[in-house]
Structure 1
Amino acid sequence: MPDLAILGPWLRRFLTEHIVTERNLARNTRKSYRDTFSLLLPFVSRKARKPVDRLAVSDLTSGHVLQFLAHLETDRGCSARTRNQRLAAIRAFARFIGSRDPALVEWCGHIRAIASKRSMPPPVGWLTRAEMEAMLATPDRKTRRGRSEYALLLFLYNTGARVSEATQLRVRDLQIGSQNGAHDLATLHGKGGRTRQCPLWPETERVLVDEITGRAGEDAVFVSRLGTPFTRFGVHRFIERCAAKVPELAGRTITPHVIRHTTACHLVLAGVDINTIRAWLGHVSISTTNIYAEIDLTLKANAVALCEVGQPRPARSWKEDKDLMAFLKAL
C-alpha cells in the first residue's frame, strides 16, 4: 500500500506540523484534536477490521464518521456541542489532506459535507452578589491554606479569568504595590497566545502579596496543599467544595466558568459598557460578550419600560411648523 494511502503518516503531519507550526492553534485546541482521533481511530479500526496502524485514508469513510458521531451521543452520552466539536477536528483533518493530495479531494468533499447538528447553547449560569459573597466566606482564613484558597477564589471573581489563565499565572505576571496612583495589574495569558491585563482590587492585591512573598518570578501564584501548581482539575474540585458549603447553591453545578460568568454579569449590572467587558474577559468578538447583556431580568425590565404602551409621545414639531411645510412645498 503506498504511503500516501496510509492514514497514520497523514495524521502525524497534521497533529505535529500543521496545527502547531502552520496554524499555531492554542494548546487546548491541539489537545482536543488529539483526543478526537484517540477516540476515532479505534472505532474505525473495529468497523474496518484492521489494526489502527494499517488503516487507509479510504477506511475513514463518511459512513464511519457518522457512525462515530452517533456513538459519541448514544454510547458515551456526549452533547450535540461535543459532537460538533469532534466533527470540526475531523473536517480540519480532511481539509488538510485534500489540500495536499489531488487524488483525495473527492474523499475530502464527502467528509466535509457532513453537517453539524443544531444545538441550543446552554443557559448562562451565574451567582448573585450574595451567593458570591457566601462562596468567598467558605475558606477558613484563620489557616494558611484557607487564606490561599480565598486568594484564588477572589482572584477568579476579580478578573473573570479562565481556569487555565489562573493556573498558568506566575509571580512575574503580577504588578502590585504600584506607586504614583498606578493600578495593580495581573497579566493573563489567554487563548491563542493573547495576553491582557486586568486591574486588581485593593483586597485582591493585599491577599496576593501575602501569597507570593518570598517566591521567585517563575513560581506559580496558586499552589495546591502539596506545594505544586494548581491544575485545572484541582481548581474545579476546589470550586465544587466551596459551593457544597453554601446551602443556597444546593443542587446547582458551580464551576470556575460560572465564576467567570458571575464577574461579567456583575460588571453589566454595574453599568460597565459591553466593549470594556469584552476586553476584561479577553473575548475576540463582542458577539461572544453580548450574551451577558441578555441574562438579567432587571435590564430587560428597564428596556421594556422605555417602550411602555400608553406613555405620552413627543410632539411632532415638524408637523406644526407651518412655515417649514410651506417652504418645502415651494421647492
Structure 2
Amino acid sequence: MAPDLSRKREAWLATLAHERRLSPKTVEAYERDVRQFCTFLTRHLAGPPGVADVAELRPADFRAFLAERRRGGAGARTLGRGLAGIRSLLKYLEREGLANAAGAHALRAPRTGKSLPRPLSARQAVDVVGARAQLAEEPWIAARNAAVLTLLYGCGLRISEALALKPGEIDAARQSLRVTGKGGKTRLVPVLPATREAVAEYERLCPFHLASNEPLFRGARGKVLQPAIIQREMQRMRSALGLPETATPHALRHSFATHLLAGGGDLRTIQELLGHASLSTTQVYTGVDTTRLLEIYDTAHPRAGTHRS
C-alpha cells in the first residue's frame, strides 16, 4: 500500500487498541484482513492503493474482493469478519474527513449459520476441575492449572480474563471478583468457596513472588502464563478423561452458562455474569438447553419415538 494509507492504517490500529480497547487478537485479525484487502487492491487497481484510492471504492470493488476470498476457500464467518475490519478502517478515515464509508456499508455481510456452543455435561465439568491428582506434575503447576480451570467453570470467565487476574482481586469478604472484560467493561462475579480454595492453594504453592500489580498466574519459569499452556492442559484432559474434541477451555465458560440456565438462572443475570453486551448473545444458551431437554426426552420417555414426525 502507498505510504499515506500505511500511516493511516497504523493510526487506526492504535485507536482500536488504546481508545476502543479491543483485544489484541481482534486487532491482529483486523490488521490481517485489511492487509489482505490492500493486497487485493494492488492487483485490482494495478498499483499500491493510497488513501484517495480507498476513498473512491464502490460496492462492486468490495464484492470483487469477497468473491476472490470465497474462491480461495474463505467461509461466511471469515468473510464477515474481514468486511467488519475494512468497514472499521473506512469509518476511521471518514471521521478524519478522508473517505466515505457508504460503499462498504451498502454491502450485506455474508450470512452465517447459527452454531450452538458445545458445553460439557455437569459431570464432565466437575471431572475436569477435579482431575488435578490424576494429571499432577509439579504440585504447584497442577494447582495452577486447577485454579485456572476452576475460574473458567466456577465464574464463567474467558481465559484471557482469568489470566489477567492479579493477586488479591478476589474479595474474600464479599466472596466476589471484579472482572475487566471486553471493551474495558467491568462486572462483579460471585466466587464459590471451591474456586477461592483452588486459587489460594495455587498461591500457597507457587514458588515465585506474586506482586500485587502483576498477573497472578505464572508459567514454569515465572513469566506470565500464556493461554496455549492451559489449552494444552485441556488436550491432556480430553485424553485422560475420554472427553470430546469440543472440550476446550472456552467450553467450560459455556458450561457455566448452560448449567446456570438449567438450574433456573434467568437470562439477564447470566448475561451480567458472562459480561455480554447484548442479551441476544446470551440467548443462544436457551437453544443449548432446549437441545439437551430433547436429548433427555428421547432417552427417557417411553414414547419418545413417536413425539416428532
Letter in 1 for 2:67: A
CA distance in 2, matches of 1:20, 1:143: 37
Q: Which has the higher contact order (CA 8 A, sep 6+)?
A: 2
**1:300 positional shift:** 6.6
Aligned length: 287
CA distance in 2, matches of 1:168, 1:69: 36
CA distance in 1, matches of 2:137, 2:227: 26
Letter in 2 for 1:15: L
**1:128 positional shift:** 0.6
2:157 to 161, 173, 189: 161
1:216 to 211, 220, 223: 211
CA 1:58–1:70: 2 relative to 1, 3 Å = same
CA 1:142–1:84: 2 relative to 1, 3 Å = closer
**1:118 positional shift:** 1.0
1:129 aligned to 2:122? yes
Match of 2:300 in 1: none
Tell me how large the CA RMSD over aligned residues is.
3.1
CA 1:234–1:71: 2 relative to 1, 3 Å = farther
Q: Larger Cα Rg: Structure 1 or Structure 2?
A: 1
2:225 to 221, 230, 233: 230
Structure 2 residues without counterparts, runs of 5 or longer: 297-309
Once the two structures are superposed, residues 266-303 of structure 1 have per-residue CA deviations (whole angstroms, 9 ceiling, x without a partner) of 1112112222111111112222212212322465799x
Instruction: Report sequence identity in percent.
Output: 25
Match of 2:303 in 1: none
Letter in 2 for 1:96: Y
1:15 to 10, 13, 28: 13
1:205 aligned to 2:196? yes
Query: The residue matched to 1:224 in structure 2 has which SS?
Result: coil
CA distance in 1, matches of 2:119, 2:94: 43
**1:263 positional shift:** 0.4
CA 1:199–1:217: 2 relative to 1, 3 Å = same
2:62 to 55, 62, 65: 65
**1:52 positional shift:** 6.5
Match of 1:327 in 2: none
CA distance in 1, matches of 2:230, 2:43: 37
Match of 2:29 in 1: 32
1:89 to 85, 88, 97: 85
Matches within 5 A, 1:235-274: 235-247=230-242, 249-250=243-244, 252-274=245-267
Of 186-195 and 50-59, more deviation after overlay is shown by 50-59
Once the two structures are superposed, residues 60-103 of structure 1 have per-residue CA deviations (whole angstroms, 9 ceiling, x without a partner) of 5644433433344442x44312211110121222233345447x
CA 1:267–1:12: 2 relative to 1, 3 Å = same
Query: The residue matched to 1:124 in structure 2 has which SS?
Result: coil
CA distance in 2, matches of 1:54, 1:70: 23
